Structure 1
């Protein structure tokens, strides 16, 4: 009789051990690791799609952590699919009135030893009366790269929204006049409902609560200090957040900024009647593709003009500097490639000014020309000191064509005095460039910068 009792006891002990292990494993999902993780070197990816029916511009970060990268890529793909569905439904309901647009940009609110946060700003225009503005904030644990859901972070996951709403209202009541604070749209945007408090970033300063973007008079975000949220967060997250401190890690690389130099204009070669073509590259710089483009240009002793996106210059400053150092021309292509016709005059100015500043800071060159995204000129464009460079020759639906087909199309349609458009964020552009340069050289064209046409 004793043996069955012993066996039953052993089985019971094993079951208890298993349950304890499972409970421990479940608890570890909700806890953050206190071990300091290395600082990520964040890079930037850009997707730009131009069709007659719609335009897509998406900027997103990539890190050394594959789990984080995959989550972000899944988000990007979901947004693209949702946009295409909305665009199709809008055309079915309202008819086609203009090209639709999806524009997504990002910022990194925080990167510390335990947490990595990214915020996306989303703009969707599908032809309905109002343009849709939205945002998505993601927080990741750096140890395993998993996205942290809000209900994982707080002790009372049923009522954390009520506490966040209370803290946010107290903060805004100090910052806004009583009349403004009591406005109905403000009260609606601050109501204690999950949709008003779903975009929260973990930072070294505490919680950054990003507010409803449809209410213009509200600030972009409210920062709730670590002291005020200490008892609201689960202990493991509270302790990890305290260890983050207020130190913020920049994604920008340290570069030696050159002194502004006068770049002498190249002497004219050949007679005045020589056939000239300007090669231009949009949407860069790209840390891998742009240097390959530069190598091909050097082999053919050709100079080109690069219209750069300001945010990409900020991320890939060494590549931008390399373009300038090799004697190529740099133009402005706005800060993050939006559709300027939907922006206010002040927003358009900001897009251009920020890009002018970062290009000058990084390369020492002040751009004197601009190429506008999608070739669209805003109705109140006032930057007369910047020459607008049009799209003379570019392949229609170039993303869908083989390099040989695109190169042939470009060469067949070009004439002296034209500018050819390529993109140095597309790897196929390197192969296209070689074929175009080879054919144009045989036809007697001289390849020059836009300013030399």
Structure 2
């Protein structure tokens, strides 16, 4: 009963406009979903009790640990070919090293999100150290994207490395209005595998789940090589891509310390 009501609510809600696509056979972006931290403070069933309000066969594509040439560009090319928009959780050090690539990701309409400065396991360091690394990462991403170093993110989306959160760090981010992302489907592309092996693994997991937030890593060569075939699989199997963006909130101008 509740599941039916939720599906009806999703279907009834008018989607924000998705980008038009010139290629008629492209997968495309089905709709845009605006979310806020009050309603969805933590999402992803592999880590938290709730996920995003997706209908059956709707997926959100997310990529961690970039930007990293040449593989981020290869992923971007595959997404562009299919007129698909995704969310990129960036490591601050990489953003500082490749700011033009950060701007390129944003210029193609993708969402820029955050993934710390130095990729530490935040559960193994103090809360003060974790806050510093989170803030340094946000500041580096913002500098690359907007030319201003600030610790209030333009897009308040964050993902922990290894999903290694703690109650204190979760509370810290929630107090700042930052949504924490887990995932619903893992590609496990941090492991050594071929592109074909990854495609078989992630499509099997997705078909078992039926929908959800999918986690990839764009600096991985096998993920970049696999992405065109994976997007074709989504198209041919009736999946629809949802692009996530932050809901409009007032006074996102001043830094929060």
Cα deviation, residue 379, structure 1: 3.3
Cα deviation, residue 393, structure 1: 1.4
Q: 2:159 pairs with 371, 376, 388, which one?
A: 371
Counterpart residue number, 2:226:
432
Cα 1:279–1:352 shift into 2, 3 Å: same
Unmatched runs of 5 consecutive residues or more in structure 1: 1-264
Q: Secondary structure at the match of 1:277?
A: strand
- Name the CA distance, whole Å, in 2 between partners of 1:417 and 1:275: 5
Counterpart residue number, 2:27:
none
Q: Deviations over 1:232-277 (max 9, x none)?
A: xxxxxxxxxxxxxxxxxxxxxxxxxxxxxxxxx951547x957311
- Name the CA distance, whole Å, in 1 between partners of 2:135 and 2:190: 30
Q: Secondary structure at the match of 1:367?
A: coil
Q: Secondary structure at the match of 1:383?
A: helix
Unmatched runs of 5 consecutive residues or more in structure 2: 1-14, 19-29, 32-53, 147-152, 247-257
- Name the CA distance, whole Å, in 1 between partners of 2:71 and 2:197: 20
Cα deviation, residue 400, structure 1: 2.2
- Contact 2:189–2:217 under 8 Å retained in 1: no
Counterpart residue number, 2:35:
none
Cα deviation, residue 451, structure 1: 4.0
- Name the CA distance, whole Å, in 1 between partners of 2:59 and 2:107: 22
Counterpart residue number, 1:267:
17
Taking the TM superposition and a 5 Å limit, the aligned residue runs for 1:105-120 are none
Matched, 1:419 2:228: no
Counterpart residue number, 2:180:
388
Counterpart residue number, 1:316:
98
- Name the CA distance, whole Å, in 2 between partners of 1:375 and 1:347: 17
RMSD of aligned Cα (Å):
2.2
- Name the CA distance, whole Å, in 2 between partners of 1:421 and 1:439: 16
Counterpart residue number, 1:277:
59
Counterpart residue number, 1:406:
198
Matched, 1:338 2:120: yes
Cα 1:427–1:376 shift into 2, 3 Å: same
**Which structure has the greater CA radius of gyration?**
1
Cα deviation, residue 317, structure 1: 0.5
Q: Deviations over 1:114-165 (max 9, x none)?
A: xxxxxxxxxxxxxxxxxxxxxxxxxxxxxxxxxxxxxxxxxxxxxxxxxxxx
Q: Deviations over 1:181-214 (max 9, x none)?
A: xxxxxxxxxxxxxxxxxxxxxxxxxxxxxxxxxx
Q: Secondary structure at the match of 2:241?
A: strand
Taking the TM superposition and a 5 Å limit, the aligned residue runs for 1:70-219 are none
> How many residue pairs align between the two structures?
187
The runs of at least 4 aligned residues of structure 1 exceeding 6 Å deviation read none
- Contact 2:195–2:225 under 8 Å retained in 1: yes
Q: Which has the higher contact order (CA 8 A, sep 6+)?
A: 2
- Contact 1:375–1:391 under 8 Å retained in 2: no
Q: Deviations over 1:211-242 (max 9, x none)?
A: xxxxxxxxxxxxxxxxxxxxxxxxxxxxxxxx
Q: Secondary structure at the match of 2:94?
A: helix
Cα 1:328–1:394 shift into 2, 3 Å: same
Cα deviation, residue 418, structure 1: 1.0
Cα 1:266–1:360 shift into 2, 3 Å: farther
- Contact 1:285–1:308 under 8 Å retained in 2: yes
What TM-score does the superposition give when structure 1 sets the normalisation length? 0.39
